[in-house]
């Protein structure tokens, strides 16, 4: 057990100090210390994508990333997407049923569009293969991501 010293991290552009063990999964710091509950616990093993956040722009499983590992980096959660076009197209396409996987889908897709603004249907599917949806909203999610490209649909 390491010391519970203050850990520093930057989330959605704001610097925070949290008194916790540096090995604490980032997910629990976000949810329980910072009150940012958008990222969800799904499996704890980095296999479902529900906990995804962006670390320096890269989709990252916050459930198995210790908080010390994001020191000096920029963490972006769904709350920090701030009116991203994806949030509009997800509503237009009604691209969810229960919505538990939605935050992870949104941040993963935001990074994809940043990296590959002209991505096609197959590319969206490949990029989201690590994000599980159990309700069967997949095709709506793909349409919402394609619709949020700078070129639109």
Interface with another protein (CB under 8 A), residue from 9, 11, 38, 119: 38
Q: Is there binding between residue 151 and another protein (CB under 8 A)?
A: no
Does an H or E element contain 59, and which?
A: strand 58-61
Q: Which residues between 73 and 102 bind another protein (CB under 8 A)? A: 77-79, 86-87, 90-91, 94, 96-102
| Paired tokens of 21 | 């063990």
The least CB distance from residue 87 to another protein, in Å, is 5
Give all strands of the β-sheet with 74-76 in edge-to-edge order. Answer: 14-19, 6-11, 74-76, 52-55, 58-61
Q: Which residues between 96 and 135 bind another protein (CB under 8 A)? A: 96-103, 106, 122, 124-126, 128-129, 131-135
Q: Is there binding between residue 60 and another protein (CB under 8 A)?
A: no
> What are the angstrom distances between the C-alpha of 21 and each of 3, 5, 17, 92?
6, 7, 12, 42
- Residue 64: what are its φ and ψ, rounded to 5°? -120, 25
Specify the 3-state DSSP secondary structure of 114: helix
Chain positions contacting another protein, by CB under 8 A: 1, 4, 20-21, 23-25, 28, 31-32, 35-45, 47-48, 50, 77-79, 86-87, 90-91, 94, 96-103, 106, 122, 124-126, 128-129, 131-142
């Amino acid at each position: 057990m390491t010391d519970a010293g203050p850990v520093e991290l930057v989330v959605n552009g704001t610097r925070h100090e949290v008194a916790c063990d540096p090995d604490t999964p980032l997910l629990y710091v976000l949810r329980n210390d910072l009150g940012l509950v958008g990222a969800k616990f799904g499996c704890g093993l980095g296999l479902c994508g529900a906990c995804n956040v962006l670390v320096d722009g890269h989709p990252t499983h916050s459930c198995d990333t210790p908080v010390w590992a994001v020191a000096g980096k920029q963490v972006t959660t769904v709350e920090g997407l701030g009116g991203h076009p994806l949030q509009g197209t997800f509503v237009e396409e009604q691209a969810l049923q229960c919505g538990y996987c939605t935050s992870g889908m949104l941040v993963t897709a935001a990074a994809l569009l940043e990296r590959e603004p002209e991505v096609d249907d197959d590319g969206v599917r490949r990029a989201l293969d690590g994000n599980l949806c159990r309700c069967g909203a997949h095709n709506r999610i793909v349409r919402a991501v394609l619709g949020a490209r700078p070129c639109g649909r």
